[in-house]
Structure 1
């Protein structure tokens, strides 16, 4: 399993709760293109604004249900190019605590143990363990950090009726982008619990770019925190590496955005802990659904070649900005969105 797919697994876990990778669902999604003008901006359909508040409530409910429920299952991410990653997941919510264990089933063996915001990734092949703090508030969807009107303003909400998915009664919602700066989504939400049981990411025509969901899902299973940690095996022999970062602000680190990328709001900014590359920061933006991370560091003495690549949905670019600085931008957004972020970065005098 690639590092990019692993990051995607970790990011989507709190939202999705059931595998739905059937061809019938994919065909149905592809047959419903979004209404869009020639300039790439979707037309507003009559009555759509009445659904904006309800879809925000649906997403908030899905987020809270995934945080508070105890469950186990197999989580799968499948990209349109055929790339796939899967992991077995155990998630315990107890007395306000979240404890999670994840074991990769594809690619390089990995074991991940999370207790609230503290995440440790164990790599059996090298006997190393990486400890980091990860802010779960920033996980999909990001509505707790972005103003409530942003989804309705930048996504066209289309109710998709009801479907029976792997034994669950679900309400279906399609959120198509109103401009070319973001992808769309199709969401299956289980009625009783509020869980989002299946998520597809769509291009502007409604074609499926990626599907992510659980299989073999069981709710309210009898999990215990001590047993989950014991199941990690003999981890005492692992060499521990701490990946430390400190919350800051872009302005405090000397950075400004001289314009806005429509719909995207600044969520967080972090800098490397003392002893690492001085001046390096990570600036995170979101529109409530999509996220972009800007990693900025000094250019350095050696020449660098600008580059652009993609891994599944994740677009990436490396570019010189503001004179003597180097930007690595990445996000599950169209490539022109990363270009827009690179163009607005400005270094304060």
Structure 2
């Protein structure tokens, strides 16, 4: 099948790598029978975050910089509802791809989960504020003591936080007991698995930095598209409104269980610091990103800066030469060097050469 056949209306490609925001978000393929989930009621996707997208992608439309085979892998992940496992050297745009997908498909704000060595699965799903809840219960109990009518002599006092919460407030006490939902905040992964009517984009950044158990812990969630919040499962109320990773938004959870309606677009990045278990890799589609070509780098510079300043081509040539010689370099370094040539009449030759050398230094050398 030719590229033209793949990209024409009715073709199997819905993502083309242009990064152009659509007037109307394109319809996605129906999920395979084994990747359909029954979460509900359906929620609308949160609005996009244009400022973050502008920082990541630049102010204008992004010229195609992905290989055809890379675009095919992304579309396969979208069709099969499987996570993308993106590898490649630092600074080649692995995390940027999540924002590119979100903007082109109109999938709203990207949910970002940055992983470190101490990160556990629950950090991505939800965070309970136990201390805040204890303080709220203590304050509520104190207010009861100030506003309640005097109890009959010999009555049992309110002796524990749980007893205070479970006991109905006295008739002349207007303050209601704190509800547990106010002290639960869903993380990026937990928010992505809410029953949205269109998939959210979840960026799991640098998973290779995690504890050795985290990839295995992710298997159940990625396979089943659901999870439980034990604190809400035990809550007698049955339903709770909790905060999400989207600023200012709350959702209702019933029975303490969350199940997605559309499996999120999961973009997992790795710098290759270690291998992942075979069971984890089996559930992902691998995509290896390479250093962009000279033409792609020039287009990316123009996309971010809006212009091609004098001397850009020579800086790009030098950047490509340094990368091809085996050095470790990031696109940020090139953008910084080009930006310097447009600020305050800075000259990249003569005495300014020292600063350019510093900006384009080999990151693998540690200084």
Shorter-chain TM-score tier = under 0.3
Indicate the structure with greater strand content. 1
TM score, norm. by length of structure 2: 0.21
TM-score by length of 1: 0.22
Give the number of the structure whose residues are more often helix, by fraction.
2
If asked which structure has higher relative contact order (CA below 8 Å, sep 6+), I would say 2
Larger Rg: 2
